[in-house]
Amino acid sequence: MNGKFSHERFDALPLVGILRGFRDDQVAAITEACVKGGLANLEITMNTAGAPDQIRAAIETAQGRMNIGAGTVTSIERLESALEAGASFIVTPAVIPSVIEACREQNLPIIPGAFTPTAVWQAWNAGAKMVKLFPADLGGPNYVKALKGPYPEIKLMATGGVSLDTIEGYLRAGVDGFGLGGPLFLHDKIDAGEWDWVAEQIRLHREIYEAHISA
Protein backbone atom coordinates (compact mmCIF):
# COMPACT_ATOMS: atom_id res chain seq x y z
CA MET A 1 0.00 0.00 0.00
CA ASN A 2 1.56 3.28 -1.05
CA GLY A 3 1.78 6.17 1.38
CA LYS A 4 -0.48 9.18 1.16
CA PHE A 5 0.64 11.75 -1.41
CA SER A 6 -0.05 15.39 -0.66
CA HIS A 7 -0.67 17.28 -3.88
CA GLU A 8 -0.96 20.47 -1.84
CA ARG A 9 2.52 19.96 -0.35
CA PHE A 10 4.04 19.11 -3.71
CA ASP A 11 2.41 21.98 -5.58
CA ALA A 12 3.44 24.51 -2.92
CA LEU A 13 7.11 23.52 -3.21
CA PRO A 14 7.84 21.31 -6.27
CA LEU A 15 11.46 20.66 -5.36
CA VAL A 16 12.35 16.96 -5.27
CA GLY A 17 15.48 15.80 -3.47
CA ILE A 18 17.08 12.81 -5.19
CA LEU A 19 18.90 10.17 -3.13
CA ARG A 20 21.06 7.78 -5.12
CA GLY A 21 23.71 5.43 -3.81
CA PHE A 22 23.63 6.21 -0.10
CA ARG A 23 23.82 3.63 2.68
CA ASP A 24 20.81 2.38 4.59
CA ASP A 25 22.19 3.74 7.87
CA GLN A 26 22.36 7.27 6.44
CA VAL A 27 18.76 7.57 5.25
CA ALA A 28 17.09 8.52 8.53
CA ALA A 29 19.53 11.35 9.22
CA ILE A 30 19.28 12.58 5.63
CA THR A 31 15.50 12.59 5.88
CA GLU A 32 15.59 14.56 9.14
CA ALA A 33 17.91 17.10 7.51
CA CYS A 34 15.45 17.40 4.63
CA VAL A 35 12.60 18.10 7.02
CA LYS A 36 14.74 20.65 8.88
CA GLY A 37 15.57 22.43 5.62
CA GLY A 38 11.92 22.54 4.56
CA LEU A 39 12.02 20.07 1.66
CA ALA A 40 8.61 18.73 0.74
CA ASN A 41 9.49 15.80 -1.54
CA LEU A 42 12.17 13.11 -1.44
CA GLU A 43 12.89 10.54 -4.15
CA ILE A 44 14.96 7.40 -3.56
CA THR A 45 16.20 5.83 -6.79
CA MET A 46 15.44 2.19 -7.36
CA ASN A 47 18.95 1.47 -8.65
CA THR A 48 20.27 2.14 -5.15
CA ALA A 49 21.17 -0.99 -3.19
CA GLY A 50 18.41 -1.62 -0.66
CA ALA A 51 16.11 1.02 -2.16
CA PRO A 52 12.84 -0.49 -0.85
CA ASP A 53 14.17 -0.57 2.71
CA GLN A 54 15.41 3.00 2.32
CA ILE A 55 11.97 4.12 1.16
CA ARG A 56 10.45 2.50 4.25
CA ALA A 57 13.02 4.15 6.50
CA ALA A 58 12.40 7.57 4.95
CA ILE A 59 8.64 7.20 5.34
CA GLU A 60 9.04 6.17 8.99
CA THR A 61 11.36 9.09 9.70
CA ALA A 62 9.32 11.68 7.81
CA GLN A 63 6.13 10.82 9.70
CA GLY A 64 3.91 12.42 7.09
CA ARG A 65 5.98 15.61 6.85
CA MET A 66 7.21 14.88 3.30
CA ASN A 67 6.14 13.04 0.17
CA ILE A 68 8.44 10.01 -0.23
CA GLY A 69 8.71 8.58 -3.73
CA ALA A 70 10.78 6.29 -5.92
CA GLY A 71 12.97 7.26 -8.87
CA THR A 72 14.66 5.43 -11.74
CA VAL A 73 11.56 3.23 -12.03
CA THR A 74 12.28 1.58 -15.37
CA SER A 75 10.08 -1.53 -15.19
CA ILE A 76 6.88 -2.90 -13.73
CA GLU A 77 9.00 -5.01 -11.38
CA ARG A 78 10.68 -1.91 -9.96
CA LEU A 79 7.32 -0.16 -9.75
CA GLU A 80 5.81 -3.03 -7.76
CA SER A 81 8.79 -3.10 -5.42
CA ALA A 82 8.55 0.67 -4.89
CA LEU A 83 4.83 0.50 -4.16
CA GLU A 84 5.26 -2.38 -1.73
CA ALA A 85 7.76 -0.21 0.14
CA GLY A 86 5.22 2.62 0.34
CA ALA A 87 6.37 5.08 -2.36
CA SER A 88 3.70 7.74 -2.94
CA PHE A 89 4.97 9.08 -6.27
CA ILE A 90 7.04 7.68 -9.13
CA VAL A 91 9.80 9.22 -11.25
CA THR A 92 11.26 7.68 -14.41
CA PRO A 93 14.29 8.68 -16.50
CA ALA A 94 12.37 8.30 -19.76
CA VAL A 95 8.90 7.82 -21.22
CA ILE A 96 8.15 4.21 -20.23
CA PRO A 97 4.56 3.47 -21.31
CA SER A 98 4.01 0.38 -19.15
CA VAL A 99 5.05 2.19 -15.97
CA ILE A 100 3.09 5.33 -16.81
CA GLU A 101 -0.07 3.36 -17.57
CA ALA A 102 0.23 1.33 -14.36
CA CYS A 103 0.57 4.54 -12.35
CA ARG A 104 -2.44 6.06 -14.05
CA GLU A 105 -4.51 2.97 -13.27
CA GLN A 106 -3.63 3.34 -9.59
CA ASN A 107 -4.07 7.13 -9.56
CA LEU A 108 -0.42 7.44 -8.58
CA PRO A 109 1.46 10.67 -9.41
CA ILE A 110 4.02 9.98 -12.15
CA ILE A 111 6.87 12.25 -13.26
CA PRO A 112 8.37 10.77 -16.45
CA GLY A 113 11.71 11.89 -17.80
CA ALA A 114 11.92 13.38 -21.29
CA PHE A 115 14.12 15.74 -23.28
CA THR A 116 13.02 16.15 -26.89
CA PRO A 117 9.87 18.10 -27.82
CA THR A 118 8.24 14.83 -28.93
CA ALA A 119 9.05 12.96 -25.71
CA VAL A 120 7.99 15.91 -23.54
CA TRP A 121 4.61 16.04 -25.25
CA GLN A 122 4.19 12.25 -25.04
CA ALA A 123 4.96 12.25 -21.31
CA TRP A 124 2.52 15.06 -20.55
CA ASN A 125 -0.19 13.65 -22.78
CA ALA A 126 0.14 10.28 -21.01
CA GLY A 127 -0.92 11.88 -17.74
CA ALA A 128 2.25 13.16 -16.05
CA LYS A 129 1.95 15.37 -12.99
CA MET A 130 5.12 17.02 -14.25
CA VAL A 131 7.62 16.15 -16.94
CA LYS A 132 11.19 15.73 -15.73
CA LEU A 133 13.33 17.59 -18.25
CA PHE A 134 16.42 15.40 -18.17
CA PRO A 135 19.27 16.05 -18.51
CA ALA A 136 18.32 19.71 -18.18
CA ASP A 137 21.84 21.08 -18.42
CA LEU A 138 22.19 19.85 -21.99
CA GLY A 139 19.81 22.58 -23.08
CA GLY A 140 19.82 24.97 -20.15
CA PRO A 141 17.33 27.79 -19.57
CA ASN A 142 17.27 28.74 -23.25
CA TYR A 143 16.01 25.28 -24.15
CA VAL A 144 13.32 25.52 -21.48
CA LYS A 145 12.21 28.85 -22.93
CA ALA A 146 12.04 27.29 -26.39
CA LEU A 147 9.92 24.38 -25.14
CA LYS A 148 7.56 26.69 -23.29
CA GLY A 149 6.76 28.46 -26.55
CA PRO A 150 4.60 25.66 -27.97
CA TYR A 151 4.00 24.02 -24.57
CA PRO A 152 3.08 26.75 -22.07
CA GLU A 153 0.73 24.38 -20.25
CA ILE A 154 3.28 21.59 -19.70
CA LYS A 155 4.84 21.63 -16.25
CA LEU A 156 8.57 21.02 -16.48
CA MET A 157 10.85 19.80 -13.69
CA ALA A 158 14.47 20.60 -14.53
CA THR A 159 16.76 17.78 -13.38
CA GLY A 160 20.46 17.32 -13.96
CA GLY A 161 23.08 20.01 -13.53
CA VAL A 162 20.85 22.46 -11.67
CA SER A 163 22.66 24.48 -9.00
CA LEU A 164 22.33 27.61 -6.88
CA ASP A 165 24.02 29.48 -9.72
CA THR A 166 21.53 28.36 -12.38
CA ILE A 167 18.19 27.85 -10.61
CA GLU A 168 17.07 31.47 -11.05
CA GLY A 169 17.74 31.33 -14.79
CA TYR A 170 15.61 28.22 -15.11
CA LEU A 171 12.80 29.84 -13.16
CA ARG A 172 12.86 32.91 -15.39
CA ALA A 173 12.71 30.62 -18.41
CA GLY A 174 9.52 29.03 -17.13
CA VAL A 175 10.56 25.91 -15.21
CA ASP A 176 7.91 24.79 -12.73
CA GLY A 177 9.97 22.56 -10.43
CA PHE A 178 13.35 20.96 -9.86
CA GLY A 179 14.92 17.58 -9.19
CA LEU A 180 17.99 18.14 -7.03
CA GLY A 181 20.58 15.49 -6.22
CA GLY A 182 24.21 16.53 -5.98
CA PRO A 183 23.53 20.13 -4.92
CA LEU A 184 21.80 18.88 -1.77
CA PHE A 185 23.44 15.53 -1.07
CA LEU A 186 27.19 15.58 -1.64
CA HIS A 187 28.60 12.20 -0.67
CA ASP A 188 31.55 13.63 1.26
CA LYS A 189 29.23 15.86 3.29
CA ILE A 190 26.89 12.95 4.00
CA ASP A 191 29.76 10.65 4.96
CA ALA A 192 31.02 13.33 7.35
CA GLY A 193 27.57 13.64 8.92
CA GLU A 194 27.25 17.33 8.07
CA TRP A 195 23.48 17.37 8.37
CA ASP A 196 23.28 21.12 8.99
CA TRP A 197 25.02 21.63 5.64
CA VAL A 198 22.35 19.53 3.92
CA ALA A 199 19.55 21.48 5.60
CA GLU A 200 21.20 24.76 4.64
CA GLN A 201 21.53 23.80 0.97
CA ILE A 202 17.87 22.88 0.92
CA ARG A 203 16.95 26.17 2.55
CA LEU A 204 18.97 28.17 0.01
CA HIS A 205 17.35 26.45 -2.98
CA ARG A 206 13.91 26.71 -1.40
CA GLU A 207 14.24 30.41 -0.70
CA ILE A 208 15.24 31.17 -4.31
CA TYR A 209 12.18 29.29 -5.54
CA GLU A 210 9.85 30.95 -3.05
CA ALA A 211 11.19 34.43 -3.80
CA HIS A 212 10.61 33.92 -7.52
CA ILE A 213 7.07 32.65 -7.02
CA SER A 214 6.13 35.53 -4.75
CA ALA A 215 7.72 38.22 -6.95
Q: Which long-range contacts (CB under 8 A, 24 or more apart) does 157-162 make?
A: 157/14, 157/16, 157/111, 157/130, 157/131, 157/132, 157/133, 158/133, 159/16, 159/18, 159/113, 159/132, 159/133, 159/134, 159/135, 160/134, 160/135, 160/136, 161/135, 161/136, 161/137, 162/136, 162/137
8, 84, 132, 155: the active-site residue: 132
4, 36, 43, 80: the active-site residue: 43
Catalytic annotation on 153? no
Rounded Cα distance between 124 and 1, Å, is 26
Catalytic annotation on 36? no
Catalytic residues: 43, 132
